[in-house]
Amino acid sequence: MVLTRLVLLFNLLHTVVAQNETFILPQGTGPYYTSLINEEWVDESRLDPFNSSHVRRIMISRFDPVPRSRCHLINVPYVPPVTAAIEDEILNAYDYPKGLWVRFYHQVCDAKKVKGERKRKWPLALFSAGLNTTRLFSNHLAHEIASHGFTVITIDHPYDTDVVEFPNGDVILGGRVTKPADANGSTASVEHALTVRADDASFVLDHLKFKGDDALMFGHSFGGAASATVLLNDKRFRAGVNIDGMMFGPVLNTSLGTHGHQAFMLWGSDGHDSFTDPTWTQFYATLNSSAGVDYKREFTITNSSHGSYWDLNILVDVAGIRDELSDTAKSGVGPIPGQPILNIMGRYLPAFFWYVLGLKPEDEVLKGPSEDFPEVKMLHS
C-alpha cells in the first residue's frame, strides 16, 4: 500500500542518531569522480502491474562520470530518512544496529555545477537490486562502476523492492512477490516480477530516448536473474551480468542472442555456481546452444558469500563495526571485507563491458587466473 510521510518513524530515527557521527563512503577506484541524481520517472503508458489504481512510477539513482578537474565535491545522504528507518527495522531483526544507515553519505560531484558533462555519451549500464532490498543498498557498487566511465542507473521496482520513497513523500512498500519456497515451489510470482522488472528497464531506455543496441544490464541476486530476462526481452541490451542470483523463467530454455549478438557473465559465490545450482547449469547450457551469444564467462570469488556483493559489506567496514557484529549479522555480509570485492567488481565488470562493446581489447583478467586477483576463479568461458 502507499503510505504518506511516515513522520513518527522519521522523528524516532532522528532522536536515536542525532548525537552520532556520520560516515563518508570512499570514492570509486576508477579515473573519474561521479555525479548523482535521484529522480522519479513515470510510465504513463501502463498501469502498475501490482496496483491498477495508478500508472507505473519508479525511482532511479543516476551516476555519471565526471573528470576530477571539473568536479565540485559535496556530501549527499546515502539513503533518505524514511527508507533508512524502515531498513533499520528490517535489518535489526538480523542483529544490525539501529540508527546506522541514515549516518552514511556519498561524496559526489555537485550535478548542478558539472558543466556539459551530462551531455557526453557514456556507455549506459542499468542495475537491478535483489528481491526485498532497495536499489540504495547497491548504489556504492553503481558508484564504483560509474567511476570507470559508465553512466549507471539503479532502479527501484515498487511493490517488489522493500521500500520506495518518492519525492512527494509517498512510500510504497514491497512484499508482493512470493518466493517459490513460500508457494509450494511455484515460480509464477517471481516470473511475473521478472517481467515487470524487464519492462521497467525497457521504460528507462524509452525515457532516455535510447535508440542503440549497446545498453548494459547488471544486477545482484534476483536483480541478476532480471538482467537475463531484460536481455531476452529487449534487443537494445548488448550484455548482462548476474551477480549470484538464481535463474527463473524463459531464459532457462530460450537463449539470449536471438535478435543479435549478446554477451553474459555470471558471478557466483562459495557454494553457488553452475556446478551446484541447476538453474545456472541449465542457463549456461542454453547460452552454449546459441550462435548469437558471442561472449560468456563464469567467475567466483573464494570465500565469498551472497552478501559479499551488496553495499552492506562495505558499510560495516566504513562504520568500523564488522568485528562487533553477531554471527547472524556477519552471515549477511560474508567473510571478505567490502573494498576487495569492490576492487574486483571495478576491474572485471568494466573490462567485460568495454570488451563486448568493442571499445577496448579483452582484459587479461577475463582470460583466466590473475596475479592481481588470486581469489577470483574462472569456472567457464
- pLDDT tens per residue, range 245-295: 999 999 999 999 988 999 999 999 999 999 999 999 999 999 999 999 999
Give the mean model confidence (pLDDT) for residues 330-350: 97
Rounded average pLDDT over 54-70: 96
pLDDT at 118: 52
CA distance 298 to 258: 21
Is 3.40.50.1820 the CATH number for 2-380? yes
Q: What is the torsional sign of CA 364, 358, 117, 65?
A: negative
Cell of residue 329, nine digits: 549479522
Report pLDDT digits (tens) over 287-339. Answer: 999 999 999 999 999 999 999 999 999 999 999 999 999 999 999 999 999 99
**pLDDT at 113 (0 to 100):** 84
> CB neighbours (10 Å) of residue 254?
12
Contacts of 327 (CB under 8 A, 6+ apart): none
CB neighbours (10 Å) of residue 96?
22
Structure-block grid coordinates of residue 130: 535483489
Pull the grid cell for residue 125: 549500464
Mean of pLDDT values over 29-56:
97
d(CA 67, CA 270): 37
Per-residue pLDDT, 119: 56
Q: What is the mean pLDDT of residues 92-104?
A: 94
Q: Which of the residues are catalytic?
A: 221, 244, 306
Q: Closest Cα partner for 283 from 258, 252, 243, 256?
A: 252
Contact of 129 with 226, CB cutoff 8 Å? no
Which residue, chain included where needed, has cell 521500500?
163
